């Protein structure tokens, strides 16, 4: 589990179907640890040290993950958002992020908005019921707040200078793809609503079982 607060901008050194190799300044990494790369939860399988402040790790990537994310677009030299998995005593600075990408969107536009930038992102229509104004969403692993919903398939989010400087959004442009994960709380609420609708149906069999009719 993650928070959507990016800890480091890593650099891809090798990219291919078996997995990804990236360099980072994050310490304390161990084989078997979960790590978020552009929002996708992967498992570290190899670690090597380049220097006292730089580490290189390898994470396997399945065909399913490549199909559901934009990780297949990464090349040597690509910058990526990195976040270590949440610890028991960690502060939840963003929102709960699972690292399970639900769809791929695109950057529609980037506009100046006073001291920040307003990004517009498109999203797959199947995510529409989880996209709500002022709700949380993870974009390439970054915890963002939805500022507005433009239509049935795009939303805007204001990106402050700190977030822009410390994430891959600083290098993104209109047309670039992004990994999307909607708020897990929205999914639980939707599931609860569906269950209530199903259990709330009154049928002939239900009335008979409960003794209202014979």
Q: What is the pLDDT of residue 206?
A: 54
Q: What is the pLDDT of residue 207?
A: 53
Mean pLDDT of 155-176: 97
Mean pLDDT of 20-41: 96
Decide if pLDDT at 144 tops 70. Answer: yes
Structure tokens at 162: 């700190």
Q: Is the model more confident about 100 or about 198?
A: 100
Q: What helix, strand, coil percent values describe the chain, rounded to 5?
A: 20, 40, 40
Q: What is the pLDDT of residue 93?
A: 78
Q: Are 75 and 66 in contact (CB under 8 A)?
A: no
Mean pLDDT of 191-211: 60
Mean pLDDT of 188-205: 62
Q: What is the pLDDT of residue 199?
A: 59
Domains of the chain: 8-84 (2.40.30.20), 103-198 (2.40.30.20)
Predicted confidence band of residue 212 (pLDDT cuts 50, 70, 90) = very low
- Pick the range with the lowest mean pLDDT from 20-34, 45-59, 61-75: 45-59
This prediction's pTM: 0.86
């Amino acid at each position: 589990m993650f928070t959507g607060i990016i800890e480091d901008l890593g650099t891809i050194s090798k990219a291919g179907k078996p997995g990804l190799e990236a360099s980072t300044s994050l310490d304390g990494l161990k084989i078997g640890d979960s790590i978020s790369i552009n929002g996708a939860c992967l498992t570290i399988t190899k670690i090597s040290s380049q220097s006292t402040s730089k580490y290189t790790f390898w994470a396997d990537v399945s065909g399913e993950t490549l199909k559901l994310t934009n990780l297949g677009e990464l090349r040597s030299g690509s910058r990526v958002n990195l976040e270590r998995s949440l610890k028991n005593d960690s502060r939840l600075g963003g929102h709960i992020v699972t690292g399970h990408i639900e769809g791929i969107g695109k950057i529609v536009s980037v506009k100046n908005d006073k001291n920040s930038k307003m990004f517009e992102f498109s999203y797959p229509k199947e995510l529409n019921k989880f996209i709500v104004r002022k709700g949380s969403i993870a974009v390439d692993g970054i915890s963002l707040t939805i500022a507005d919903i433009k239509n049935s398939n795009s939303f805007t989010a204001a990106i402050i200078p700190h977030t822009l400087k410390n994430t891959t959004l600083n290098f993104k442009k209109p047309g670039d793809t992004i990994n999307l994960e909607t708020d897990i709380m929205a999914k639980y609420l939707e599931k609860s609503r569906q269950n209530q609708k199903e259990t709330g149906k009154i049928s002939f069999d239900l009335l008979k079982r409960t003794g209202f009719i014979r």
